[in-house]
Amino acid sequence: SADLTLELKSGNGNIWSDINPLVGTSTQSAEKTAVKVAKKYSNEANKYDYFFNIDSDASIVEGPSAGAAMALLAITALQGKNLPSNVSMTGTISEDGKVGAVGGVFEKTKEASQTGIKLFMIPKGEGKQTVKLPEGVQTIYLPDYAEKNWKIKVVEVSDIDEVLKFAFTNISEIDVNTSIESVKEYTPEPIQVHSSLALMKKLTAKYIEDANISLMQARNALSSTLIDDAS
């Protein structure tokens, strides 16, 4: 887990990152995008410098998944609002304010529930999760599962406007969608692999592993680019 804080000081719109722990280029890029989004919500934005701090036990903090949270912090700070301490979220942020998908949503939600968070916002479309539970692999609807099992409300958001709306809504009044009929999936039972297919299974597993590595490298390359022009 990590605590994200932001301090505004009189300045010229510069962005600063705490270097303990080290902050990777994709996280720094997310900070820049978050401030760009926040500037659309205040005419005073260029009168301040933005000091981001991520307090974590990790030696290096890397990745863009805190981008939406950074934008939320910047906007509320510029508007002079106090963000409730029991509200948190995960999601990338684009220059047009869209909240993008991230990994590990199930684990992040569980961790949030254990640190006192009562409302956790996730990217639109990530409510459906296929996870390994004690009773086996299942497809769940996270807002429903989290409220029943962890006593935390989870809502899906598509853009920063929805984030702002939920962040300052009375949590007890938020009605999460508890219908899971639309997310039920068929999960086949494990089957025994015939001995003659053992080599094919090994080759396939290696192929999937290599493909996942390539995807991760592509995502990292895209998220760590220093090009400011989103197009």
| Residues involved in catalysis | 65, 108
Return the biggest CA–CA distance within the chain.
70
Task: Look up residue 119 and give its DSSP letter.
Answer: E
Closest CA to 176 of 202, 156, 204: 156
Strands 22-23 and 60-61: parallel
CA distance from start to end of the chain: 32
Helix (H) or strand (E) holding 121: strand 119-123
Q: Dihedral (C-alpha) 110, 112, 116, 120: value to the nearest 10 degrees?
A: -110
Contacts of 108 (CB under 8 A, 6+ apart): 90, 102, 120
Kindly list the strands in the beta sheet with 153-157, ordered across the sheet, starting from the edge strand earlier in the chain.
87-89, 119-123, 153-157
Cβ distance 42 to 75 under 8 Å?
yes
